[in-house]
Structures are given as structure tokens and as C-alpha cells.
């Protein structure tokens, strides 16, 4: 379990990016970390990965405070940064270094990911791959390291549409029940049907965190001809896409995009 208790962080002393953040993430859950550009998604992932230190508050991984920086705890967390850079080395050399630090590394998972992405296993220089290939290989490595906590920062961004589909399939196939996955994105469609929970970072408003079950039990999503009784509405060709309080006769799927828009610009009714 990951717990953030009253976490604050700012790059400048007079301006916090994250302020008094409380969150709890549990095993077997997929968290979608959403927010506009600059809302603090990468910062939050870096804090959980132990790459940045909270200025206030504490972060616990399985009950251990990250400030202690004990190796066993750091080995449980892997963050794939959005701007990762591969060194000039072969995949084998790279794996020799990484698999040493991450004892749960599984070669079979890596091989399966690479086969599905149609990438040759024998990579002589990781740095000479195309941008799209680099993203596929980096993601494949991130999955195969087998860490309890997998933090993926905009990981599907550099991928084309078929690769994004494969990205989702491979996550569903290889993530274990005891893992926690956090995927940050500003493209909500990338992660729909994959998530169990959403975390939305908002400027000047508290973080919104809820499971999809909770959201579905509280709200209905649908189309209406008018804006009567809605919590949030967006005009569309058929009338309005709306979010309302739960209506038993309206059984619709959660629209993450609509929820996200409601949270970002919806006037605080959700
Ligand atoms: P997101 O991932 O949601 O786009 P970030 O966590 O990258 O947001 O950034 C949050 C805020 O912190 C932004 O305003 C960004 O400009 C600022 N920021 C990020 N990294 C640094 C840094 N190394 N130094 C100073 N400011 C930074």
C-alpha cells in the first residue's frame, strides 16, 4: 500500500505544486492520474518513486517511510519517466544492471512484450532505436521488472494507435494482483476500460480521488435534451452529454472524459 499523508512540495519556496495531499493506493488497483499540463502529475510520481522529497508530510510504502530510503522499499517502486533517456548500450547490458536491483524481474514478461510489439530481442544499442521503439522497449522493461508499484508517466504518449492498444493489452495480461499501477496521462481515452480508480490533480482545488465503482454508484452519465437537474453538461449534436445524481433508470458507463471536464471546469458540483 502507498499512503501519502499531508504531502506538500514546491520547486520554489513561495509556490507549492502539491499542497497537503492525502492519498491511499492499494494492491490490485489501476490508478489513472489525470490533470492538466503542469498540475503536478510528474511531481507526484517522482515523490512516490523517492526521486524528490516532500517538503511537508510523509509517504509510506507498505508502512515504511520513504525518507528512510531503505533499499528494500526502493526496490518495490519503479517509475518510467516521460522523458527517459536510454544509454548507449545493448538491451542485455541494460538488463544486467537493472535486473540486479529489481529481483522480481521476469525475462518471460519482457520477451512476451517485445514479441507483441514486434521488436527484435537482440538490440545492440538502445539509443539507436526509433522514438516509438524506445517507448515500447522502455514500457516492456517497466512491466517486466515486476516491482510492486509501477509508475508510468505518460507512457503511451510516444506510441501510435496499434501500439497503444497493445500497451493496454499487455498491462491487462502482465500486471499481478499484488501490484499497484499508476498511469499518468492527459489523454483520458488512453486508459478508459483499464482503470479501477481515478486521481485528478486540480490547480487551486483539492485532489479528487475515487474508484470507478464509487463514481458509478453516485452519478449517472448520459444524454439529455436539456440541462435540467444536471451536475454538469456539455452540448453535443443530440443535446447534452450530462452527469446527474444517480438515477436508477439510467444505467450508463462512467465517461472519464466528461468526469474530468466536470472536475476541471465544472464549478465544483462534483
Ligand atoms: P504535469 O506532470 O502535471 O505536467 P509537473 O509535475 O511536471 O506537471 O509540473 C508541475 C509544475 O511544476 C509546473 O508548473 C512545472 O512548470 C513545475 N516544475 C516541474 N519541474 C520543475 C523543475 N525541475 N523546476 C522548477 N519547476 C518545475
The DSSP code sequence of 175-203 is --TT-EEEEEES-GGGTTTT-SEEEEEET
Q: How far is the CA of 69 from the centre of ligand 1 (A)?
A: 23
Residue 170 is predicted with a pLDDT of 96
Every domain of the chain and the residues it spans? 2-206, 212-265
Is any atom of ligand 1 closer than 6 Å to the C-beta of 185? Answer: no
Residue 251 is predicted with a pLDDT of 67
Report the alpha-carbon distance of residue 28 to residue 144 in Å, rounded: 17
- Which protein residue has the closest C-alpha to ligand 1 atom 1? 38
Q: Which residue has the cell 508530510?
A: 57
pTM above the 0.75 mark? yes
- CA-CA-CA-CA torsion sign (162, 164, 167, 169): negative
Is any atom of ligand 1 closer than 6 Å to the C-beta of 11? Answer: yes
The angle, 0 to 180 degrees and rounded to 10, between the axes of the packed helices 161-174 and 131-144 is 10
- Note the CATH number of domain 2-206: 3.40.50.300
Residue 193 is predicted with a pLDDT of 80
Residue 201 alpha carbon, nearest atom of ligand 1:
3
Is any atom of ligand 1 closer than 6 Å to the C-beta of 41? Answer: yes
The whole-number mean pLDDT for each consecutive block of 10 residues of the chain, a chain of 270 residues, reads: 97 91 97 93 97 96 94 95 94 93 95 97 95 95 97 90 93 96 85 89 89 94 91 93 87 87 83
Amino acid at each position: 500500500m502507498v499512503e501519502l499523508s499531508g504531502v506538500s512540495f514546491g520547486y520554489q519556496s513561495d509556490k507549492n505544486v502539491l499542497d497537503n495531499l492525502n492519498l491511499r493506493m492499494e494492491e490490485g488497483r489501476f490508478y489513472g492520474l489525470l490533470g492538466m499540463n503542469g498540475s503536478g502529475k510528474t511531481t507526484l510520481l517522482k515523490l512516490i518513486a523517492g526521486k524528490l522529497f516532500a517538503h511537508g508530510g510523509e509517504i509510506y510504502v507498505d508502512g515504511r517511510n520513504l525518507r528512510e530510503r531503505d533499499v528494500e522499499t526502493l526496490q518495490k517502486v519503479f517509475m518510467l519517466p516521460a522523458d527517459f533517456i536510454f544509454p548507449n548500450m545493448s538491451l542485455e547490458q541494460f538488463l544486467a544492471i537493472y535486473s540486479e536491483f529489481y529481483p522480481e524481474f521476469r525475462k518471460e514478461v519482457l520477451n512476451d512484450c517485445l514479441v507483441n510489439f514486434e521488436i527484435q530481442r537482440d538490440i545492440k544499442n538502445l539509443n539507436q532505436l526509433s522514438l516509438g521503439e524506445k517507448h515500447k522497449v522502455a514500457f516492456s522493461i517497466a512491466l517486466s521488472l515486476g516491482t510492486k508499484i509501477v509508475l508510468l508517466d505518460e507512457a503511451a504518449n510516444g506510441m501510435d494507435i496499434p501500439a497503444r492498444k497493445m500497451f493496454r493489452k499487455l498491462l491487462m495480461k502482465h500486471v499481478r494482483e499484488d501490484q499497484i499501477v499508476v498511469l499518468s496521462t492527459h489523454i483520458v481515452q488512453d486508459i478508459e476500460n483499464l482503470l479501477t480508480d481515478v486521481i485528478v490533480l486540480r490547480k487551486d482545488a483539492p485532489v479528487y480521488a475515487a474508484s470507478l465503482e464509487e463514481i458509478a454508484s453516485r452519478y449517472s452519465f448520459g444524454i439529455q435534451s436539456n440541462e435540467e437537474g444536471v451536475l454538469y453538461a456539455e452540448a453535443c449534436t443530440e443535446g447534452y452529454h450530462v452527469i446527474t445524481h444517480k438515477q436508477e433508470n439510467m444505467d450508463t458507463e462512467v465517461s472519464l472524459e466528461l468526469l474530468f471536464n466536470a472536475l476541471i471546469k465544472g464549478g465544483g458540483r462534483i
